[in-house]
Homo-oligomer: A and B are copies of this chain.
Amino acid sequence: MIRAAVLEKPLEPLQVKGFPEPKMEPGSILLKTVLSEVCGTDVHLFHGRLGECPYPIIPGHINVGIIEHIEGEVRDIDGVPFRTGELVTFLDVHNTCNNCWFCLVAKATTRCPHRKVYGITYSAAEGLLGGWSQYIYLKPGTKIVRLPAGVSPERFIGGGCGLPTAFHAVERAGIFIGDSVVVQGSGPVGLSASILARLAGALQVILVGGPRHRLELGLAMGADAVINIDDTTPQERLERILALTGGRGADVTIEATGVPAALKEGMAFTRDNGTYVVVGQYTDNGTLEVNPHWEINKKHLDIRGTWGIDFSHFYRSIQVLEHYGSQYPWERFISREYSLAEVNQAIQDVEAQRVIKAVINPWA
């Protein structure tokens, strides 16, 4: 039997259960899990804050594993066939349909209504479709990518889904050489956004967040300055940022907090005619008050909501890990590995921000 952690319903502790080996369709792959991520979205999933999800669910949407079995032939984007024993990952988003108005006319594939997401919108009743499991069943058409030499499972999962999410945000931000960038939030998305803003040419990256151990990691990996929200007032943070940006504010601010009130600060942090990317509001945490005259219209502000990722963000992120991973060792984001039996602890530790990133090793 294959062991996997199952979330039967929101707020109920996950239990490890046994599953039979899956029946393989042509073009499918059976992956032996090496590591699976615990991300903030899993905390939302645990609390039932992601809308209608098909509980029971095996969580774990970002994963790395070894190909155990290939049913027929499956090729990568360059047409090279996969072989058993290869170390690979796959885009959690599946079934972007390439056949609807959003895919074909708007070319906004992250809003395709047919997308499914491993570990989130697939039910355990449908199979081993999440990574907190010893094996994962990759349906035909799943977008699979080999880990390049030099990218260890730990480095990849250290980036996790925060890295491609940040990639998308930085792409939306339009950062160019010379920009001053503020990143709000020092979780995995914010930390990766700091690094990527740097790679995109930012002259300075100011990371606003906490607690202290996250900011220290940020300083070690890309940020020029950090501001700890635990020991500053909003006014002090604003003054600090203005002082660092010639009194004008940041050219670009990237929100990666999950806290609605952060938008109020973020708009103030950004200079007139600057850009504000909102990427951290992945669940409904309430509202904030906005003054459209001062904060949008007169400021001539660009605000860019950013939802999900597509394959390009995932693929490019792996290339970033390959080329810049020794300069910015993403594996340092991992605070601790957990066994399947410890998944409930892992969720609690992520929620309490006791760890930067928790990862699941289903064979531990």
Bound CA span A177–B167, Å: 9
- List chain B residues, Cβ under 8 A from A315: 104-105
Which residues of chain A from 100 to 130 have a CB within 8 Å of any chain B CB?
100-102, 104-108, 110-111
Query: Residue among A170, A171, A293 with the most chain B CB within 10 A?
Result: A293
B78, B287, B307, B310: the one contacting A246 at CB < 8 Å is: B78
A272 proximal to B (CB < 8 A): yes
Which residue in B107, B285, B291 is a CB contact (below 8 Å) of A286?
A: B291
Contacts of A283 in B (CB 8 A): 293
Q: A305 interface residue, CB < 8 Å from B?
A: yes
A108 touches B300 (CB 8 A): yes
List 30 A-B residue pairs with CB atoms under 8 Å apart, sorted by A's residue number. A78-B100, A78-B246, A101-B248, A102-B272, A107-B312, A108-B300, A110-B300, A170-B177, A171-B176, A177-B316, A201-B201, A203-B319, A203-B323, A260-B291, A260-B292, A281-B297, A281-B298, A282-B293, A284-B294, A287-B290, A289-B290, A290-B290, A292-B305, A297-B306, A298-B307, A299-B307, A300-B308, A301-B305, A302-B304, A302-B305
The verdict on A150 contacting chain B, using a C-beta distance below 8 Å, is no
In the complex, what distance in Å separates the CA atom of A301 from the CA atom of B301?
A: 13
A278 lies within 8 A of chain B by Cβ: yes
Given A77-B105, A301-B303, 5 additional A-B pairs, CB 8 A: A99-B143, A101-B248, A106-B271, A177-B200, A302-B304
Using a CB–CB cutoff of 8 Å, the interface residues on chain A facing chain B are: 77-79, 96, 98-102, 104-108, 110-111, 141, 143, 167, 170-171, 176-178, 196, 199-201, 203-204, 246, 248, 251, 260, 263, 271-273, 278-294, 296-308, 310-312, 315-316, 319-320, 323
A106 to B298 CA separation, bound complex (whole angstroms): 16
B296 touches A177 (CB 8 A): no
User: With A105-B77, A305-B298 in contact, do A323 and B204 touch (Cβ < 8 Å)?
Assistant: yes
Asked if B263 and A292 sit within 8 Å, CB to CB, the answer is yes
Minimum CB distance partner of A323 in chain B: B203
Instruction: Give complex CA distance A251, B105 in Å.
Output: 11
Say whether B290 contacts A288, CB under 8 Å.
Answer: yes
Given contact pairs A204-B323, A319-B178, A105 touches B311 in the complex (Cβ within 8 A): yes
Question: What CA separation (Å) do A100 and B176 show in the bound complex?
Answer: 20
Which listed residue (B104, B196, B312) contacts A104, Cβ 8 A? B312
In the assembled complex, the Cα of A308 lies from the Cα of B108 at a distance in Å of 20
